[in-house]
Amino acid sequence: MLYAQIHLTLPVWVHDHVDTTRAYPGDEAKVALAIELSRLNIQAATGGPFGAAVFDAHDRIIAVGVNRVLPHTCSLAHAETMAYMLAQGRTQRPRLNQTLDGAACGPVTLATSSQPCCQCYGATVWAGIDRLLIGARAEDVESLTEFDEGPLPADWIGELERRGIRVVRDLHRDAACAVLRAYGEQGGAKY
Ligand SMILES: [Zn+2]
């Protein structure tokens, strides 16, 4: 049998826990939402300890994502890639900060509970975002859980900034680490 389609979903609880009617002004509020998603994802046992959200120029949610690797047996289903794919589907823009005519429509922001792994780093280069907001660092992920973040360019922040993506780190880092720690203490990569 030849598979010819893919189908990825977020857990149904996102509809009860994500308020799409409000704005999330400021970097801290955006990352706080991403971390809350990561916490809810392990609490509900619907994936790994990672959450992300894409915001438009008015600080409103375009899409959210959580890790869905084990529920979907899909190594691509990380929080950041889920958020990008859902945002691109909703806006019908393969580069989120550009219309199909090439007109700028940003800034678009991705907030993520942990530093993007090498896969999500690559996805970030092409997703069309202007700002990347990060909670925990890669070394936090690797010390508190069994996840491997993979290889990144030595100057990974500089490579993003040269492509117009401003990076802000260590937002609510302690809160992000608390979720990673809780997951690690459960026995590692169960979801
Ligand atoms: Zn990733």
How close is the Cα of 41 to the center of ligand 1, in Å?
15
User: Is-contact 68 9, C-beta < 8 A?
Assistant: yes
Segment 5-21, tens digit of pLDDT:
999 999 999 999 999 99
Domains and CATH numbers, the chain: 31-185 (3.40.140.10)
Segment 103-143, tens digit of pLDDT:
999 999 999 999 999 999 999 999 999 999 999 999 999 99
The dihedral built from the CA positions of residue 5, 11, 14 and 15, taken in this order, carries a sign that is positive
- Helix/strand/coil (H/E/C) assignment for every residue in 130-144: CEEEEEECHHHHHHH
Q: What is the layout of strands, in order, in the sheet containing 109-114?
A: 61-66, 51-55, 109-114, 131-136, 166-168
Predicted model pTM = 0.96
How close is the Cα of 172 to the center of ligand 1, in Å?
19
pLDDT confidence of 189, banded at 50, 70, 90?
low
How close is the Cα of 82 to the center of ligand 1, in Å?
10
How close is the Cα of 51 to the center of ligand 1, in Å?
10
Average pLDDT along the chain:
96
User: Is-contact 86 65, C-beta < 8 A?
Assistant: yes
How close is the Cα of 123 to the center of ligand 1, in Å?
9
